[in-house]
Structure 1
Amino acid sequence: MPSTDSAAQERTRAYARVIGPYVAVFTAVIAVRLPDLAGLTGDLFAQPLMVWMLGALMLAGGLTVIGGHRHWRGPLAVAVSLFGWFVALRGLALIAAPGAMEAGVQATMDSPAALAAARVFFGALALVGVLLAWGGWSPRRAAPAPGGAAR
């Protein structure tokens, strides 16, 4: 029977296997295509129901990660937990203050410096996604046998 710590590590790896590739692909595409997405964000915020539904789904998804992953030991576990909190808080912001979110997006899209900073930020997030995917999909190292000597 696996120990509690071992079960928590396996749960972390399972979350990282899903979250890592998603974050890597999605944020890499955003980093490359961000200037082209101005029309898309304008269309999204023009439909309050879509903003509400997106916020509700993000809040639910973030709370699912928060509730299912309560392990904070190690960089992989911290990254998974922070992802859950980040998504939940963004979802809450979309349903509680959509106007502020829209203003922030518009200010970023209107400023060349902010747009460049956002592209660098999303590129860095893509690297975090790659690291999460690597941590989730890489083979586990064999644990030493009880008593100290590996067999």
Structure 2
Amino acid sequence: MSGKGAPELTVENRGDLRDLRVAVIAAQWHQQIMDGLVNGSLRALRELGIAEPTLLRVPGSFELPVAAKVFADRGYDAIVALGVVIRGGTPHFDYVCQGVTQGLTEVSVTTGVPVGFGVLTCDTEEQALARAGLAGSVEDKGHEAVTAAVATAATLRTVA
């Protein structure tokens, strides 16, 4: 089931993370949902002691990979990509979701910089709202994307 079993990331189990350079990249479509995702990600970073992440807004989810690549090339330790794509009546949903997923995966694999995947791919706006970390939401995918990216960056620090 979605939302269950996520790893916890704390200073106690990962060490001091304050020196990590983290970029949060967020699409602009669906402002209420995106505001929830961004707020959840920034809250997670504050909880980890990462006080000054870089926040960049891009037009849509399809633009997330190119922005992630720029941050990876500029020496960031972790990147968090936030977006939402809601299914419509055309194949556009499938193309955007596939492109974003492949693009972010390629950035992470080719650069070695962890990318937290906080892109909601939902059938309805209600599903997205339920995952956006807003009051009444059952999940906080912005927070979870930070946890994934930062935990991976912390783990990679231990690789000799």
Q: How high is the TM-score relative to the length of structure 1?
A: 0.29
Whose Rg is larger? 1
When you count helix as a share of all residues, which structure comes out higher?
A: 1
Greater RCO, 1 or 2 (C-alpha within 8 Å, sep 6+): 1
When you count strand as a share of all residues, which structure comes out higher?
A: 2
Q: How high is the TM-score relative to the length of structure 2?
A: 0.28
